[in-house]
Amino acid sequence: MPTSKRCYECGNENLDQSFCGACGSPLTLNDYISTKVKNQLSDTLRDRDVLEMDSSIKVFKRAWEWIRLIIGIAVGLLVLTGVGVIWKASDFWSGVDKAKQSVTDTAKKSSDDITRSSFQSKQEIFNALKEGKAAIVTASSDAARQAKALKETTVQTKADILKQATSLHDDIKKTRLHLEAASKIQPEIEGMKNQLAQATKDIQAQQKALSSSEQFVKSVFSSHVTQYFSFKLNVGAVRTVDSKKCYVVIPPSTKDGKITVVLLLLDRTPIEGTLQLQQQVAVQPPGSYFNIHNLVVFYWGDPASNLETKPLSVSYFPDKSDTEIIHSLSEHDGRVFADDQPLPEFTK
3-state SS class at 82: coil
Confidence at residue 221, expressed as pLDDT on a 0 to 100 scale: 66
Which strand (E) or helix (H) includes residue 331?
A: strand 329-332
Length of the chain: 348
User: Of the given ranges (67-76, 93-102, 144-153, 253-262), which has the lowest mean pLDDT?
Assistant: 93-102
Q: How far apart are CA 61 and CA 259, in angstroms?
A: 163
Pick from 30-34, 82-86, 238-242 the range whose average pLDDT is largest. Answer: 238-242
Label residue 256 exposed, middle or buried (CB < 10 Å: 0-12, 13-18, 19+).
Answer: exposed
**Highest mean pLDDT out of 129-143, 192-206, 312-326:** 312-326
Evaluate whether 313 touches 279 at the Cβ level (below 8 Å): yes
43-68 pLDDT, tens digit per residue, is 766 666 666 676 677 777 777 888 88
**Residue-level pLDDT at 96:** 57
Q: How confident is the model at residue 9 (pLDDT cuts 50, 70, 90)?
A: confident
For residue 239, pLDDT over 60 is answered with yes
Residue of higher predicted confidence among 53 and 314 = 314
Distance CA 132, CA 124 (A): 12
Q: What does the alpha-carbon distance between residue 188 and residue 305 come to, in Å, rounded to a whole number? A: 81
d(CA 6, CA 25): 11
Question: Which of 192-196, 267-271, 275-279, 316-320 has the weakest average pLDDT?
Answer: 192-196
Question: What per-residue confidence (pLDDT) applies to 89?
Answer: 56
| Whole-number pLDDT of residue 226 | 94
**pLDDT band per the 50, 70, 90 thresholds, residue 99:** low
Give the chain's mean pLDDT.
81
pLDDT bin (cut points 50, 70, 90) of residue 1 is: low
How would residue 23 be classed by pLDDT, with cut points 50, 70 and 90?
Answer: confident
Q: What is the rounded distance in angstroms from the CA atom of residue 281 to the CA atom of residue 34?
A: 120
Among the ranges given (80-94, 161-175, 196-210), the one the predictor scored with the smallest mean pLDDT: 80-94
Q: Output 93 or 230, whichever has higher pLDDT.
A: 230
pLDDT at 206 over 80: no
Handedness of CA 170, 172, 178, 181 (dihedral sign): negative
CA distance 261 to 252: 8
Q: What is the DSSP letter of 343?
A: P
CA torsion through residues 336, 341, 342, 347, sign = negative
pTM of structure = 0.39
Q: How far apart are CA 6 and CA 326, in angstroms?
A: 104
Q: What string of DSSP letters covers 271-317? A: PTT--EEEETTEEPPGGGEEEETTEEEEEE-S-GGGGGTS-EEEEE-
Share of the chain above pLDDT 70, in %: 86
Q: Over 80: is that where the pLDDT of 210 sits?
A: no
What is the per-residue pLDDT for 274?
93
* CA end-to-end distance (rounded Å), the chain: 116
3-state secondary structure of 25: coil
CA 172 to chain centre: 31
CA-nearest of 134, 113, 105 to 54 is: 113
What pLDDT, on the 0 to 100 scale, is given for residue 318?
94
CA distance 253 to 88: 199
Q: Is the pLDDT assigned to residue 270 strictly greater than 90? A: yes
Q: Which pLDDT score is estimated for 327? A: 93
User: Residue 263: its pLDDT value, please?
Assistant: 94
Residue 187 exposure: Cα atoms within 13 Å on the Cβ side:
1
